[in-house]
Amino acid sequence: MKLFFLGTSAGTITAERNVSALVLDLIKERNSLWLFDCGEATQHQMLKAKLSIARLEKIFITHLHGDHLFGLPGVLTTRSLMQNMSPLTLYGPKGIKQFVETVVNISHSWLTYPLDIVEIDQPTELINDEQFVVNCDALNHRVACFGYRIVEKERSPKLNIEKLNADGIPNGSHLAALKLGQLVQLTDGRMINGSEYWGEIKRGRKLAILGDTMPCDAAVKLAHDVNVLVHEATQKSDLQEKANNRGHSTTHQAAEIALKSGAKKLIITHISPRYSLANNLAIVNECRQIFANTEIASDFYQVEI
């Protein structure tokens, strides 16, 4: 599981940063990519990053401001120029369906694959399959805006073959029951508890990807005990009034959310165009005053989870 930042600027592009877009690379887990927000030129950024639009399985839009949305028509319609595209699910606040249908119709474009659009108007569980649970909750921005919590389910433990061999437990159909932790009686009469022969249980990873927001309880809830929290830090701490008046957070406020939530790592993004990449160290150091394990994302920054 890997995060790949495609756009990290707030509001508008700069010479150094594109606007908001973030890919969760799940190629190893389910042979697919999930896209969070889709600012202008996202498909161009994906091309540069060698991330295939054909692999997109789900797109999550946090809110309907243009810097998080205007790249969506291009991504959706470009997929229609490819052969045998898989179905795609799009999640976003109310209005996302009207936006997509209007753009496609007015531009006389078309979609050649099934597109399921799920509109969100309240906190809810969006996905619960064999691998992942995804929940959303409403944040505190100037328009309806949602953050997403992605939890990977625990992976079934493998049997400790060395221990099985050491205890003289033969191969056979009973191994399937042992792997499930069940009690099994061997032909020699021994009762075996499968859980005693489990290898290391691989805990599921957790992350929170939040949209634009001022500090709020929902952000803390979504980020509770995550491995990685992605949070905006539009302004440095000296511009808190300006940031909050526009529904945004500062470096210190993002770090405080990470601290309160018990997150293990904070990655800040959505950086004001007033700051160049040369300001990155000063910006991230403000967060580290409060939450030491903080990184700042630039375009094409990636991190394993």
Give pLDDT tens digits for 30-60. Answer: 999 999 999 999 999 999 999 999 999 999 9
* Pair (254, 281) in one structural domain: yes
Residue 1 · residue 24 · CB < 8 Å:
yes
* Pair (60, 10) in one structural domain: yes
Check pLDDT > 90 for residue 3.
yes
Residue 284 · residue 295 · CB < 8 Å:
yes
Of 83 and 246, the one with more pLDDT:
246
With cut-offs at 50, 70 and 90, classify the pLDDT of residue 173: confident
Q: What is the DSSP letter of 55?
A: G
Strand order across the beta sheet in which 206-209 lies: 124-128, 132-138, 146-152, 206-209, 228-232, 266-269, 294-296
This prediction's pTM: 0.89
Partners of 200 in the β-ladder = none
* Pair (37, 177) in one structural domain: no
* Pair (189, 223) in one structural domain: no
Where residue 117 sits, what CATH number does that domain have?
Answer: 3.60.15.10
Report the C-alpha gap between 188 and 206 in whole angstroms.
44
* Counted domains in the chain: 2
With cut-offs at 50, 70 and 90, classify the pLDDT of residue 103: very high
Active-site annotation, residues: 67
Report the C-alpha gap between 154 and 64 in whole angstroms.
34
* Pair (127, 81) in one structural domain: yes
* Pair (175, 146) in one structural domain: no
Q: What is the pLDDT of residues 229-238, one digit of tens each?
A: 999 999 999 9
Report the C-alpha gap between 23 and 37 in whole angstroms.
9
* Pair (181, 208) in one structural domain: no
Range of the domain at 183: 161-197
* Pair (25, 171) in one structural domain: no
* Domain endpoint, select from 197, 219, 248: 197
* Pair (169, 246) in one structural domain: no
* Pair (149, 234) in one structural domain: yes
Average pLDDT over residues 173-181: 81
